[in-house]
Chains A and B, each alone.
Chain A
Amino acid sequence: AQKVTQAQTEISVVEKEDVTLDCVYETRDTTYYLFWYKQPPSGELVFLIRRNSFDEQNEISGRYSWNFQKSTSSFNFTITASQVVDSAVYFCALSDLTGGSEKLVFGKGMKLTVNP
């Protein structure tokens, strides 16, 4: 079965620090997709990135960067020069096509607190 593990449950940093959120996944599928979502206190899950299993290139978007390594089944997320507005719960997710259509399997989430 598909599984996503976010070993860190909570991290607290001071503004401008870099922080890396770890994500390890398990799947038997050869084609799959990985996602990161952000959940601010308002509750809505905000989409950050989607990566397919054939694309191992790292990606950078502003202060955000993602490191996908199939060899270690990891899809880590780094925030550079963190800001207070980055405070949220971050979820890593894996696509699961069992049952005929896509559903997402989420990790337990990691709460990031950025202090001024």
Chain B
Amino acid sequence: KAGVTQTPRYLIKTRGQQVTLSCSPISGHRSVSWYQQTPGQGLQFLFEYFSETQRNKGNFPGRFSGRQFSNSRSEMNVSTLELGDSALYLCASSSASRSTDTQYFGPGTRLTVL
């Protein structure tokens, strides 16, 4: 089975721009979660989607949004980029067949905001 894929792998943007990151889960997985990883804050949960619905959201401003498509692929969007948004954005998928299931991560998208 192919793993979680994320595109693009690297992005450089300037302050004020917006960006869209994409995540394709493992085949058959219906839950997609997004995490932000920074040196200062570590790994923090952004949001989780299941069957095209956002089921959970972390403590991030409204500039961070996401969506999930019928094929379980997910995108996250960050508008009005700030320098502090520079981070590794990791996507994880799980089958979510039970209330708790193992999350498998993709390679991440490294976003640099100049």
Residues of A whose CB lies within 8 Å of any CB of B are: 33, 35, 37, 42-47, 50, 91, 95, 97, 99-109
Contacts and interface: CB of A to CB of B under 8 A. Distances in A.
Contacts of B101: 102
B106 interface: yes
Contacts, number: 64
Given A33-B100, A43-B107, A101-B48, A109 B57 contact: no
Given A100-B55, A101-B50, A101-B56, A44 B43 contact: no
B108 A99 contact: no
Given A43-B107, A95-B100, A103 B58 contact: yes
Interface of B: 31, 33, 35, 42-43, 45, 48, 50, 55-58, 88, 90, 92, 94, 96, 99-108, 110
Given A42-B107, A99-B57, A106 B42 contact: yes
Contacts of A44: 105-108
Given A43-B108, A108-B42, 17 more contacts: A35-B102, A43-B90, A43-B107, A43-B110, A44-B105, A45-B90, A45-B105, A47-B104, A50-B102, A91-B43, A95-B100, A99-B55, A101-B48, A101-B99, A102-B94, A103-B56, A106-B42
